[in-house]
Amino acid sequence: MKGFLKVISVIMIILGILIVGLMIFNISIIRTAGDGVIADVLTGAMIVVLGISGVMDLLGGFLGLRAAKDPGKTTAALVFGILAVIPGAISLIMETSTENICGLIIPVLYLVCVIAIRGSREN
């Protein structure tokens, strides 16, 4: 499971970098295309939606790598895994769609791996 958690963590780090890059790209386009209140609102929305998502993916990836390296440090990864699954589960309950199911796959796999590593450490 450690190897699988490492793979998922690397995927999360790559996704986080891509999302932050997308945020920066979108903000630069909004800023060059427009000026004023609408551009400010769109910029704020990009920072909130994409920025938080990207940082969460990066944080989760690094916590997962740390947990895979040292099973004694799984608590933070476990808490993060639970926090990562909650929004996806709520979205899936509100609207069952392929997009919401796909968006929940990585966080669920991450959480399952962390729980398995934590369980093997305690045994």
Condensed to tens digits (0 to 9), the pLDDT of residues 48-61 reads 877 888 888 899 99
Spans of all domains in the chain: 2-118
Query: Given a cut of 70, is residue 9 above it in pLDDT?
Result: yes
Name the DSSP class of 73: G
DSSP state of 123: -
Give 17-35 pLDDT, tens digit per residue. 998 888 888 888 877 877 7
Q: In the prediction, which pLDDT does 122 show?
A: 62
Say what the pTM is. 0.80
Which are the contacts of 119, defined by CB distance < 8 A and separation ≥ 6?
none
pLDDT of the residue at 95: 84
Whether 66 shows a pLDDT value over 90: the answer reads yes
The pLDDT, as a whole number, for residue 45 is 81
Give the model's pLDDT for residue 123. 57
Give Cα 52 distance to the centre of its chain: 9
Residue 26 confidence (pLDDT):
81
Q: pLDDT tens-digit profile of 69-79?
A: 988 888 999 99
| Pairwise CA distance, residues 50 & 78, whole Å | 23
- DSSP type of residue 1: -
